[in-house]
Amino acid sequence: MIARLALAAAMFALPAAAMAQSADTRPCITPEQNEAVTAYVMPSLATEMARKCGPSLGQGSYLVSNAQRLSQKWQAGADRAWPTARNVVTKLAGIPLAPGSSGDGFAKMVLAPALAGKIAFELDAQACAVTDRLLQQLEPLPANNLASVLATLLEVGAANQSQIPYRVCREQPN
């Protein structure tokens, strides 16, 4: 599940050419950028995973019954994370998104749901059950701490996955 989550996060608005790069030449993002992208996607991820996992988990599951509340709870953090997430999109995809531009507003509105939908699509019933349990255990954390934990899991998942078009690097190459 972590590898799937990392793969979907990595496909965040990247052209196919970037996805074909080898592990040695993949661009780096910082742990802070990884955390910002994670925080930005979290509200949409809650609702998309609930939609995908609802049939297998049932309406009484933690994820399904709390998705809207969690999405609202995490939205302020997503809004704060967007400027850094926007910079990641600009860096990795070469898409110029000037703050406040129409492209910026459009990207902010559509990228998180698209990425969250891709992540949710990849989940099977077993992954849904694990996600439900994990979310129930981690949800009491403040949103920024939860984003940090999830970003760390993504960092580990992306480390040796050559199909993921980025690496999380502690030190940026010159």
Contact between residue 70 and residue 77 where contact means Cβ atoms under 8 Å apart: no
Contact between residue 128 and residue 53 where contact means Cβ atoms under 8 Å apart: yes
Q: How many CA within 13 A on the CB side of residue 141?
A: 15
What pLDDT does 162 receive? 67
Interval 124-157: pLDDT, tens: 999 999 999 999 999 999 999 999 999 998 888 7
What pLDDT does 155 receive? 85
Q: Would you kindly state where each structural domain of the chain is located, as residue ranges?
A: 2-156
Confidence of residue 167 (pLDDT cuts 50, 70, 90): confident
Least Cα distance to 79 among 156, 147, 174, 31 occurs for 147
Question: For residue 174, what are its two tokens?
Answer: 């010159």
Check pLDDT > 70 for residue 24. Answer: no
What pLDDT does 2 receive? 43
* Strand ranges (E), the chain: 28-29, 167-168
Interval 53-100: pLDDT, tens: 999 999 999 999 999 999 999 999 999 999 999 998 888 888 788 888
What pLDDT does 92 receive? 82
Cα–Cα–Cα angle for 6, 93, 44, nearest 5°? 50
Contact between residue 34 and residue 149 where contact means Cβ atoms under 8 Å apart: no
